[in-house]
Structure formats: C-alpha cells, structure tokens
Amino acid sequence: MHYLVTGGAGYIGSNLTDRLLSLGHRVTIYDNFSTGFYEFVEAAAKNPNFTCIEGDTLDGDKLKAAARGVDFVFHLAANADVRFGVEHPRRDLEQNTIATFNVLEAVRVNGVQGLAFSSTGSVYGEAKVVPTPEDAPFPLQTSLYGASKLAGEGMIAAYSEGFGIKATIFRFVSILGPRYTHGHIFDFFRALTTDPTRLHVLGNGRQRKSYLHVQDCIDAMLLAVTKAEGRLNVFNLGWDGYCEVLDSIGWICNELDAKPVLTFAGGERGWIGDNPFIYLDTKKICALGWTPKFTIEQSVRETLRWLRDNQWVFAQRT
Amino acid sequence: MHYLVTGGAGYIGSNLTDRLLSLGHRVTIYDNFSTGFYEFVEAAAKNPNFTCIEGDTLDGDKLKAAARGVDFVFHLAANADVRFGVEHPRRDLEQNTIATFNVLEAVRVNGVQGLAFSSTGSVYGEAKVVPTPEDAPFPLQTSLYGASKLAGEGMIAAYSEGFGIKATIFRFVSILGPRYTHGHIFDFFRALTTDPTRLHVLGNGRQRKSYLHVQDCIDAMLLAVTKAEGRLNVFNLGWDGYCEVLDSIGWICNELDAKPVLTFAGGERGWIGDNPFIYLDTKKICALGWTPKFTIEQSVRETLRWLRDNQWVFAQRT
C-alpha cells in the first residue's frame, strides 16, 4: 500500500510513518515543518519506500499532486494545540477546517480509496456523559480547536456520503510517548528543568484527564482502518481511566527528583475552553480487539524519559 | 436597537428586516444580492431607519465596517440550498463556514452584544431520534450544507465561550411563506405552470418533511433572542408534525387546478444527503411561550399564492 501521511514529520505522524515503513508499506509524508521536525523522520528517510514532500495543507494544488497514485491518506496535519485559540482565532479555521477540505479534495480528485482523520475528544466540549461514548448527546463546542476539528469531521462525513469515500474518524484524548512536543507534560518538564524549586499550574490542578500512549494509538488506528466495516466510522481512542493534573505533576517531580513549591492560577479550568474532565468511552474500538499496553503513569514516565534524552526539542519550541 | 441582518435581502432576512423596522428598530442589511432581491427590500428602503450595504460575507473588512456601532447581528446570509453540495464542494465551505467566521470576527472586533444564526435541522443528518431534540445523539453529517452549518455553529459556540458573546443558534426546518424562492415547492410550482400534465418527483415522494411559516419563524427568533437566558442557546424551529412530499404535491395540484401524471426518480432520498424524515422536537422554544400560527398546509398554500402573484421571481431563478 502507498500511504500519504499529512503532518508526517509531526508527533503522531512520524511515529505512524515509522510503523507503516516497518510493515513494508510505501509512505509519502506531506508536512510544512512548522511544528514537525526533520529529526523525527531522519530514520525513515533512509528507507527507499519513504518520500518527503515539504508542503502546506493550505496549498491545495500541491496537496492534490502529492496524493496522486496514493491508496490511503492519514490526515494528521493540524494546529494541534487546544489552547490559545482566542489569541489567533483564524488559525484553527485555516489549519484544521480549510486544510481538511483541501485534503478531501485531494482524495476526491485522485480517487483515493480511504482516509483517516485525527479528530479530538475536545469535540465533546464539556460532555454531559462521562465516560463519553461516540454517540453522546449533541455537544456544544467550547474551544475553537474542537470546533475546527468538528468542522473537519462534518466535511469528511459529507464527502463519505456524497462521494463514497471510506473514512475513519478518530477522537483522541491527549497522546503521550516519544516525540511528544507540546502540552502540559512538556510545559511542566521544561519549567522544572529550568527551575526545580517552583511550578505554576493553570487551574486548580484537579482537572481530570485521560492519556494514551502513541504506540497504543497507532495500534488502534491501523486496526480500525483494516477491520472496521461500513463506509464511515468514528472511534474514540483513549485509556479507560484518567488521572488528575496533580498526579502527573507527582510523576514528573518523581522522575526529575524535584520538590517544587506549587502555585495555582485557580479555577476548574486551565484556560478558556479547557475541559475539566476528559474520559472517553472506548468500548467501540476495544470491540475490534484492541487493548492498550501502557497505563497512563507508564505513558507519562516514558514521555519524561524521552524528553530528558531529547532536550534539543526545547530549543526549537518557544 | 440597531440590527445588522446579513442576507437581509433574502427570503427570511427581508421578512425579518420588515418586522424589525415595523417595531421601530434601526436595520442595516448586508447582502451581495447573489440570491437576494432588491424587490424584497423595496418597501424597507422607504424607511429612514433602513440602510442597505451591498457586500459579500467573504469580504471580512467590509463586514467589519458594516458591523460598527451595531447592537445585534442576525447572520442569515448563506448558501441556503441543501442540495447540489457535491456539484460544487467549495461553496458551502466558503459561503457558510468561512463567512460565519468573518461575521464572528466582525462581531468580536466591534464589541457587538449579541448574535443569532440560522442553522438547520440538516445538522442532525439522518437522526436516530424523531422528533429530534436539540441534544439528540451526536449525529453524522450527510450533506456538505449540514456540515458547513454545523461548522458555523461550532465556531459560534467557541466564540461565545472565548469572548463572552451572547449567541442564539436556530436549527430550522424548511421555511415557507411570502418570498420563498428555492426548494421543492418552488420547483414543483414552476414545473406545473410550465407543463401541468406531468410532474417528475425526486425520490419516491414518501419523504416526510416538516415546514414552518416564515412569520412563525420570525416570531420564534425574536422571542428567543429576547427571552432566553444564558450566554449560548440552541433552538429547533419547526412545526410539531410533518407531511409527505406527496401531500404537498396534492396541495399544489389543488391550488393550480392541475392533474399531472407523476413520475418518480425512486428511492427513499431525493438527492445525496436528502434526509427522508425531518421532524424536530420544538418543546424548548415552545417553553418560552411560542406557538406557531400556520399549519403546514396553510404555509404551503400561502407560499403558492405568493408565487402565483410574483412570477417575476422565476425569471430571476434559473
């Protein structure tokens, strides 16, 4: 199979690329390297089945050319940070919604067989049902990030209906593991390596979050796109449980041997649109035979060790 | 109050403009006259409280200037036709999703107090619960139109959360009454006045649809934006019941005194993304004290009489 992976130099994309190459597939990545790293595809680049196209998902023509002859597209390129939407309202619209439209057009005009999309548990807003199933009550959006991903989901579903494209939508919790380069574990690690005596926490630290290891995530994605029947499928991907922000701070301090004084911004939410309780119902993907291998604590600790061994990423993330 | 009505020369927009003016308000309409009619605002234009700005919602700067000093925005400009999405996939994205983003930015930068948005029952896709309540199970989109309106809803909700804008989202069934200029009643009327001996029907004619009279719709919108508490509200607007396409054909034939031979394209759906059963639960808006005055049959018949008396619109709709 020939796969196109948008955002293939990014966190999940580069891990997926390595996996697909290891399975003997041909992989073309399409990345503008705005948040992706050349370092993440250095190993892949030695594989003759690997092609790298430096391009922006807002460049529809280049994207169409990149998808020529491709069998399947994993669309992972995105503005992946749920925070800060209000500081640059247009970013989520462009990089998530319009970009996804461009991917759909590239898929359509090239007759690509299948498409998978990285959506987010943020589309549930502040879910009324927890753990939250895929058919939870119609949510109200609370972040521009979630809204832009929901818009992507809607267009994908409509394209699937209108043009017969097989599509799989994944609603992720936060993903952890090697090459993790944004989010609060990243921020806490950086803050504590700079000053291990204190740590400032957004919100009250009691936000309950679920996490999934990137390798478990990739296992689930490949299983779903292979095994799920029907033209359009939506799957939650997460761990069957959650921790508090304070738990992850404990693990970080333990790994770093730090004993900081904690200060709290206060309130239930870390930022506008922060969901104080994320916990997705994963029965649907589990019914296909998937079981995650890493606990949340293992995922956090492995992330920390990877960050410790790859501190060059901090220099490139301001 | 000073209202800005996008799409104010359109079907619902011009009826709303007339109502707001009759209540003594100041109204600025913003319309590109692509589907709106100068004739629809001829009476309004005689009112000194009325201003017409010819502009496109894709022109963000012009829109921002138009919203300066405005108290409240009714955002009704849209590609309003649920059909044909697959023939020009970009239209819904641009005219509904990106345009709504531009309206939100105009609202935000001008500090406009409130916003109301014409969404659609099509966001429920093929609803699993009928009559469909606002918190129905998370739907899958079946049309680019529905997807683009859902995207608009999501951004509005996120802006409401992020910037404290009071917003009301209305999910309409099909609206009937004076100035109705697209949809199947329009198509059937035109076909039968051209050739009363035969009529071709998309689908099997058994599609069940709900309709609402435009004056009832405006009653509900004004009630909701005045009375509903909380920062963000979503209301279904529809009639508590439905008819079959064959029922409306019967009323049309009766009004026109036509006895056509009917032929059917067949199938449950009239087009890709057609929902064979639209019937919205309207308990939430009714709880505010709203009751529609026109039955579906009355709405259809009044639409037909208006079309009979205003056949000039057919010359301008190809």
Across the interface, whether the CB atoms of B140 and A86 are under 8 A apart is answered no
Task: Among A141, A159, A271, pick the best mutation site for testing chain B contact (most B Cβ within 10 A).
Answer: A141
Contact, A260 vs A253, CB < 8 A? yes
Which residue in chain A has the smallest CA separation from B160? A142
Task: Among A79, A88, A144, A269, pick the best mutation site for testing chain B contact (most B Cβ within 10 A).
Answer: A144
pLDDT 10s digits, B172-222: 999 999 999 988 899 999 999 999 999 999 999 999 999 999 999 999 999
- Min distance A207 CA to chain B CA atoms (Å): 18
Across the interface, whether the CB atoms of A161 and B143 are under 8 A apart is answered yes
The pLDDT of residue B87: 82
Q: Which own/partner contact pairs does A37-45 have at CB distance under 8 Å and 24+ positions apart?
A: A37/A9, A37/A10, A37/A179, A37/A181, A37/A313, A37/A316, A38/A9, A39/A312, A40/A9, A40/A10, A40/A11, A40/A14, A40/A179, A41/A8, A41/A9, A41/A14, A41/A17, A43/A18, A44/A14, A44/A17, A44/A18
- Higher pLDDT: B103 or B272? It is B103
Mean pLDDT of A32-46: 96
Asked if the C-beta of B109 comes within 8 angstroms of chain A's C-beta atoms, the answer is no
The pLDDT of residue A101: 98
Residue B23 has pLDDT above 80, yes or no: yes
Contact, B224 vs B168, CB < 8 A? yes
The pLDDT of residue B82: 76
pLDDT 10s digits, B104-162: 999 999 999 999 999 999 999 999 999 999 999 999 999 999 999 999 999 999 999 99
Question: For A35, which DSSP code?
Answer: S
Lowest mean pLDDT among A179-193, B5-19, B27-41, B137-151: A179-193
pLDDT band with cut points at 50, 70 and 90 for residue A263: very high
Residue A143 has pLDDT above 70, yes or no: yes
Contact, B91 vs B85, CB < 8 A? yes
Asked if the C-beta of B142 comes within 8 angstroms of chain A's C-beta atoms, the answer is yes
The pLDDT of residue A86: 76
| Residue A179 CB partners (closer than 8 Å, separation 6+) | A11, A14, A15, A37, A40, A214, A306
Task: Say if domain B2-175+211-237 classifies as CATH 3.30.1330.60.
Answer: no
Question: For B46, which DSSP code?
Answer: G
Question: B38-77: buried (b, 16+ CB within 10 Å) or exposed (e) per residue?
Answer: eebbeebeeeeebbbbebbbeebebbbebbeebebbbbbb
Task: Among B161, B163, B280, pick the best mutation site for testing chain A contact (most A Cβ within 10 A).
Answer: B161
CA A118 to centroid of chain Cα atoms: 6
Residue A275 has pLDDT above 90, yes or no: no
Across the interface, whether the CB atoms of A150 and B148 are under 8 A apart is answered no
The pLDDT of residue A318: 62
Amino acid at B276: P
DSSP string, B163-209: H--EEEEEEE-EEESTT--SSHHHHHHHHHHH-TTEEEESTTS--EE
Which residue in the set A89, A141, A158 is minimally distant from B157, CB to CB? A141
Asked if the C-beta of A125 comes within 8 angstroms of chain B's C-beta atoms, the answer is yes
Across the interface, whether the CB atoms of B135 and A134 are under 8 A apart is answered no
The pLDDT of residue B24: 98
Asked if the C-beta of B139 comes within 8 angstroms of chain A's C-beta atoms, the answer is yes
Burial-class residue B247 by CB neighbours within 10 Å (0-12, 13-18, 19+).
middle
The pLDDT of residue B83: 76
Asked if the C-beta of B97 comes within 8 angstroms of chain A's C-beta atoms, the answer is yes
- Min distance A10 CA to chain B CA atoms (Å): 26
Residue A18 has pLDDT above 90, yes or no: yes
The pLDDT of residue A82: 76
pLDDT 10s digits, A51-92: 999 999 999 999 999 999 999 999 999 998 777 667 888 999
**Which CATH number does B177-209+241-315 carry?**
3.90.25.10
Residue B275 has pLDDT above 90, yes or no: no
The three-class DSSP label of residue B9 is: coil
Which residue in the set B86, B105, B155 is minimally distant from A147, CB to CB? B155
The pLDDT of residue B184: 87
Which alpha helices (DSSP H) does B76-143 contain, by range?
89-92, 99-110
What are the residues facing B167 on neighbouring strands?
B115, B232
Contact, B177 vs B303, CB < 8 A? yes
What does DSSP say about strands A50-54 and A26-31: parallel, antiparallel, or unpaired?
parallel
The pLDDT of residue A15: 98
Which alpha helices (DSSP H) does chain A contain, by range?
11-22, 60-66, 89-92, 99-110, 144-163, 184-194, 214-227, 245-256, 283-286, 296-309, 312-315
Q: What percent of chain B has pLDDT over 70?
A: 99
What does DSSP say about strands A2-6 and A26-31: parallel, antiparallel, or unpaired?
parallel
Which alpha helices (DSSP H) does chain B contain, by range?
11-22, 60-66, 89-92, 99-110, 144-163, 184-194, 214-227, 245-256, 283-286, 296-309, 312-315
Which B residues, 22 through 61, put their C-beta within 8 Å of a C-beta on chain A?
Answer: none
Distance CA B289, CA B306 (A): 29
What are the residues facing B52 on neighbouring strands?
B29
Of A118, A78, A81, which Cα lies nearest the Cα of A95?
A78
ipTM: 0.95
Which residue in chain B has the smallest CA separation from A83? B162
Contact, B103 vs B56, CB < 8 A? no
How would you classify residue A20: left for phi > 0, otherwise alpha for psi between -120 and 50, otherwise beta?
alpha
The pLDDT of residue B70: 98
| Joined tokens for residue A41 | 């595809």
DSSP string, A249-310: HHHHHHHHT--PEEEE--SS-SSTT--SB--B--HHHHTTT----S-HHHHHHHHHHHHHHT
- Min distance A43 CA to chain B CA atoms (Å): 38
Residue B318 has pLDDT above 70, yes or no: no
Across the interface, whether the CB atoms of B147 and A157 are under 8 A apart is answered yes
Of B42, B308, B300, which Cα lies nearest the Cα of B176?
B300
Question: A276-296: buried (b, 16+ CB within 10 Å) or exposed (e) per residue?
Answer: bbbbbbbebbeeeebebebeb
Distance CA A302, CA A296 (A): 10
Per domain, the residue ranges of chain B are 2-175+211-237, 177-209+241-315
Across all residues in chain B, what is the average pLDDT?
95
Q: Which CATH superfamily is domain A2-175+212-237 in?
A: NAD(P)-binding Rossmann-like Domain (3.40.50.720)
What are the residues facing B35 on neighbouring strands?
none
